[in-house]
Structure 1
Amino acid sequence: MSVTTFPYSETGYFSKLICDYLEKVPSLSAFYHREPDISAFKEQLEEKRTQFTAAQRKVLATRLLAQYKDLPLSQATLSNIDLLKESNTFTITTGHQLNLFTGPLYFLYKIFSVINLAETLSATHPNDHFIPVFWMATEDHDFEEINYFNLFGKKISWENASGGAVGRMATEGLSNLLPELKEAWGEGETGKKLLSWFSEAYTQHNTLADATRYLANTLFAQYGLVIIDGDDAELKKQFIPYAENELTQKQSFQHITRTTQQLTDLGYPEQVHPREINLFYLKNGLRERIIERDGTYFINETRQSFTAEEILTELHTYPERFSPNALLRPLYQEIILPNLCYVGGGGELAYWFQLKDYFDATKVPFPVLLLRNSVLLLPKQLSEKLNKLKVPIKDLFKSPSALRTQCTHRDSDIEIDFSKQRTHLQQQFKELYDLAERTDASFVGAVAAQEKKQLNGLDHLEKRLLKAQKRKLADALDRVSALQSQLFPKESLQERNANFSEFYLVHGDSLLYELKEKLDPLHPEFTVITL
């Protein structure tokens, strides 16, 4: 497998905010704590060391073992959980939705990013320990975002009428997908392994959280990955003071609104809109916003309400019923983990930038933010076809129209560029302008109108010529377009569409080994892996 990298800014798929962050634009420095450089972690871990107590570590390790009670633990993961009790152990964390069968490919890239960064830090700080952590987004409630995965261009969907937090959803009905998957993956060794993973995950585990934990553990346990579910009453007890502040003071709304305005003033869009109370009420298939009006707390879309005293009693008695939204989840995460760095995609980092001022107000250390590895997997046979067509892989990041135009200009046996003709025409009109200015001023306008008409005519002829050459080169252009569609389905990045099973089916475990070997989380460039 070979590797090629190039700047994210040259792909066209990453926002100006993320590109500016990677380029360390000074105006963004107020929205994060430390830059994602290896040198930043020494100060980060010393800061976190003083903020994270032995009691917190004990609760964390105990609850992790409880969450893993029905799974066989690898020695690497068991050792890492045990190490979390020590004051010199820290986490590197990423999070993801509970997408069916891991969802899009970047699930793998996120987790290998934290695994590899933890290993790098362990080598550079031998007196400390660094644990890769995967935070399951069990309290999300947007079922339509996670109830499917794409397989060979087809959507494999799970129909489930239940609501509330997705992690608590029963896996009922997922066995119905097994015949379709068996046909798609075939009877080969890797196909059978994939089918057994799916079957074990979704027919032998009762909830989506348990099924996802099984899958992530199956794929990454050998690397010591620790999987955590924040939907845990004991862990949420540590969040009570912050949730109480949220309910009574609305502190997050004040700080996040101000920071968001500062970002938008710099020209960056708002990623997540803060609400006055950024908590949901979570109970028996229900996850709805908490809204306060005139001292009474209402549960949205229900008839349930609480007085100020009642809702605080509810919080202290049943902390598991209070669920942070996307803007409060990062704070909850940093409270219960000895975390140094959050690894996420561009959209995730964008809302973390909205939180810096709020973190400062709560006196919780703000983690280093690192963009996850982003990858295009290029099958060898497609690479060979691109070479025959003389199309560099980098060109496939262009829009389909721009790519066809570029290939036409390159392969045409005649030049499709009327620049010389335009220059010659403009020179002729320059002489006419000189003549017009010596005669009648009204003549100048007529000359200008005629020049515009002639230049427009040249533009039209150039477009006609380009169109004609595209017809002439249609076969080659169609082959290029077909390759682009294969590698960029739906005119989007492969990693946001394809499921890992398509590549695992061909390469088996070597796919995981090669990703682990080839990805460098501290190298901030887009990666193309030919395999």
Structure 2
Amino acid sequence: MASSFSASWMRGDPRALEFLPDRFRHRAARAEAVTAAASRTVAPALHAALVARHARLAPSPARERNLELLARPGTTAVVTGQQVGLFLGPLFTVYKAASAIVAARALSEETGRPCVPVFWLQTEDHDLPEINHSFVPRASGEALRVALDMPGAATSRTPVAHCALGESIPHALAMLHAELGSQPHAGEHLELLERAYRPEATMADAFAEVLSTLFADEGLVFLDPSDPRLAPLAAPLHRRSLEEASAIAHGLAERGDALSSAGFSEQVHIRPGAPLSFFSPNGPEGARYRLEPASPPGTWHLVGHPEDASVTTAELLSWLEREPLRFTTSALLRPLLQDTWLPTAAYVGGPGEIAYFAQLAPLYAHMALPMPLIVPRARFRVIDDRVRRLLDTLGLSPEDAAAPRDEVLARLAAQKTGEGFEPPEAIEARLVSAFASELARLSERTAAFEPGFARALSRTDKTVRGGISRLVARYGRAIAQRDQVTLERVERLRAHLFPAGAPQERTHGLPYYACRFGSRAFTQLVLDACAPFSGDLKDLKP
């Protein structure tokens, strides 16, 4: 089984560092990245588009200062980004934005150069089912799913930039009111959501309005690649993606083979000869399709097109000249567009994005662009009062609760020894000790005349230890499940911290925490807890 690249990289595994050096950890490397980024400038047309886009947001003196800084030579940027999920999507959206702000501040202090935090609104994707909902944790532990009714979402290929919220958004807001209206700060946060999330608004506009309000004091700048004013500026990169598709795909495929040989898997599969651009044949607001080489040469198949259509290179280049907004980036091309447009010193990303960048060195080299620092985003676990009560009642720490469910139950079972049950750990230790002793005796007897027997003993040892561990875990569960109250508390605790088995930050949305503790208070708590260039998991205790 392939290892997780991001986890290995965060541990400093030399295999992972071969593909993506951890330059973010070293002050000298950070200074080098800032110097390299400072040699690039923001094009006047891009800057004008940014200023026009931000005029639609609530005024922010800090953001206006940052926009002014971006027009000056020598200014650099720390970029992060995310799909524009409903009500900001999972909590890690806020954590990403805060991480970029804190990293930009730290780089400015370290180098003396201005550094601006920029949030890339990922609006070119068409994965509506990934973004059309938000989860609200409940006291029972089970989260409430608040979703938009968007017919055809599962099969839609339209970039989310062109998707209006529609007539179901008032119902989604009403669900939030019903669930959260009694919370201490519900009024101000729900009012903010109602101002932003209107039926005629797009997912991107509503997302940007809320996030810009949360981070108005920090001057977070937003960039939407689907802005029609920016499409001509993306055209040169899409042209190279088409004309040099074979060479680019070959370099990325070799990189994928090297990752596989080192024990890692590709985050993004590379298709032979395929460009990294998507094309919308029926216009920017129509379906987007991946391109694959077809026959005769110079022809491209639109993958997934209902009529199995194809298009020629000449036709694509003609459309690129006339209507460049028909072209959108893939996950691997987006970072190149970002760093073509911006003086990016660092990119703040999550585990998936870190794995993307492990693949990207050949593409950056091909485009003659320096790769920015890759900085892991902050990771948090919110321990509110109801979670604290459960932890105290069960006698667990957050780290204890992070263990697999069976281990948590086995640990609690050990507290039942007063009922005459031997602790699971004691049983496991005794069984393993007895087996290991007999295995060692057998090894001594056979070593002299059968050296190869050692391998069989080693395999048996591993198998038996695994079997004992599973047996003891089942024993622990059986004891713990005798106490239905304890079992329910464990399930509720895990639902708060690991809903559906995933980290809290990847499932729960902001509305509950903002309504409970205050939009700005919770945002400030996150900002204060962010340690630049860390990526370690920390507990937030509002």
Range class of TM-score, shorter chain = 0.7 to 0.9
CA distance in 2, matches of 1:214, 1:105: 17
Structure 1 pair 123/205, CA: closer, same or farther in 2 (3 Å)?
farther
Which residue of structure 2 aligns with residue 11 of structure 1? none
Which residue of structure 2 aligns with residue 255 of structure 1? 251
1:286 aligns to what SS in structure 2?
coil
Are 1:149 and 2:131 matched, yes or no?
no
Q: TM-score, normalised by structure 1?
A: 0.85
2:23 aligns to what SS in structure 1?
coil
Does structure 2 retain, via aligned residues, the 8 Å contact 1:32–1:368?
A: no
Q: 299-308 vs 314-323, which deviates more?
A: 299-308
Are 1:35 and 2:23 matched, yes or no?
yes
Which residue of structure 1 aligns with residue 526 of structure 2? 515
Which residue of structure 1 aligns with residue 8 of structure 2? 20
Are 1:395 and 2:412 matched, yes or no?
no
Alignment length, in residue pairs?
497
Q: 187-196 vs 76-85, which deviates more?
A: 187-196
Q: Percent identity?
A: 26
The one-letter amino acid of 2:392's match is N
- Which structure has the greater CA radius of gyration? 1
The one-letter amino acid of 1:171's match is L
Are 1:489 and 2:499 matched, yes or no?
yes
Which residue of structure 2 aligns with residue 161 of structure 1? 151
Q: 409-418 vs 504-513, which deviates more?
A: 409-418
Does structure 2 retain, via aligned residues, the 8 Å contact 1:57–1:86?
A: no
Give 5+ residue unaligned stretches, structure 1: 1-13, 436-453
CA distance in 2, matches of 1:44, 1:84: 17
Q: 486-495 vs 465-474, which deviates more?
A: 465-474
- Cα distance, 1:198 vs. partner? 2.0
Structure 1 pair 248/465, CA: closer, same or farther in 2 (3 Å)?
closer
CA distance in 2, matches of 1:365, 1:458: 52
Structure 1 pair 291/49, CA: closer, same or farther in 2 (3 Å)?
same
CA distance in 2, matches of 1:21, 1:199: 41
The one-letter amino acid of 1:109's match is Y
Which residue of structure 2 aligns with residue 287 of structure 1? 288
Which residue of structure 2 aligns with residue 115 of structure 1? 101
Provide Cα deviations, 1:193-221, integer angstroms capped at 9, x if missing partner. Answer: 22222221121753222111111111112
The one-letter amino acid of 2:162's match is R
1:310-325 to 2 correspondences below 5 Å: 310-325=315-330
1:359 aligns to what SS in structure 2?
helix
The one-letter amino acid of 1:226's match is V
Which residue of structure 1 aligns with residue 513 of structure 2? 503
CA distance in 2, matches of 1:434, 1:330: 59
CA distance in 2, matches of 1:79, 1:424: 71
Give 5+ residue unaligned stretches, structure 2: 138-142, 446-463
CA distance in 2, matches of 1:393, 1:291: 48
Equivalent of 1:86, from 72, 84, 91? 72
CA distance in 1, matches of 2:105, 2:436: 63
Provide Cα deviations, 1:147-184, integer angstroms capped at 9, x if missing partner. Answer: 11112311111122364110111222122323222212
CA distance in 1, matches of 2:233, 2:344: 15
CA distance in 1, matches of 2:315, 2:306: 17
Equivalent of 1:70, from 41, 56, 61? 56
CA distance in 2, matches of 1:235, 1:460: 57
Provide Cα deviations, 1:388-419, integer angstroms capped at 9, x if missing partner. Answer: 43212101111111111122235534344344
- Cα distance, 1:236 vs. partner? 3.4
- Cα distance, 1:266 vs. partner? 0.7
Structure 1 pair 434/244, CA: closer, same or farther in 2 (3 Å)?
closer
Are 1:172 and 2:166 matched, yes or no?
yes
Q: CA RMSD in A?
A: 3.1
Does structure 2 retain, via aligned residues, the 8 Å contact 1:36–1:368?
A: yes
The one-letter amino acid of 1:169's match is C
CA distance in 1, matches of 2:333, 2:22: 20
Structure 1 pair 237/406, CA: closer, same or farther in 2 (3 Å)?
same
Structure 1 pair 115/15, CA: closer, same or farther in 2 (3 Å)?
farther
Which residue of structure 2 aligns with residue 10 of structure 1? none
Which residue of structure 2 aligns with residue 277 of structure 1? 275
Structure 1 pair 463/114, CA: closer, same or farther in 2 (3 Å)?
closer
- Cα distance, 1:71 vs. partner? 2.0
Structure 1 pair 430/97, CA: closer, same or farther in 2 (3 Å)?
closer
CA distance in 2, matches of 1:459, 1:370: 38
Structure 1 pair 155/478, CA: closer, same or farther in 2 (3 Å)?
closer
1:289 aligns to what SS in structure 2?
strand
Structure 1 pair 80/99, CA: closer, same or farther in 2 (3 Å)?
same
- Cα distance, 1:131 vs. partner? 0.6
Provide Cα deviations, 1:455-503, integer angstroms capped at 9, x if missing partner. Answer: 9999999678646643555544543343222222112211111111111
CA distance in 2, matches of 1:89, 1:455: 58
Equivalent of 1:246, from 241, 246, 250? 241
Are 1:225 and 2:220 matched, yes or no?
yes
CA distance in 2, matches of 1:93, 1:166: 21
Q: TM-score, normalised by structure 2?
A: 0.84
Which residue of structure 1 aligns with residue 116 of structure 2? 131
Does structure 1 retain, via aligned residues, the 8 Å contact 2:36–2:345?
A: no
- Cα distance, 1:72 vs. partner? 2.5
Provide Cα deviations, 1:46-96, integer angstroms capped at 9, x if missing partner. Answer: 22233x24xx43222111012123222301001101110111211101110
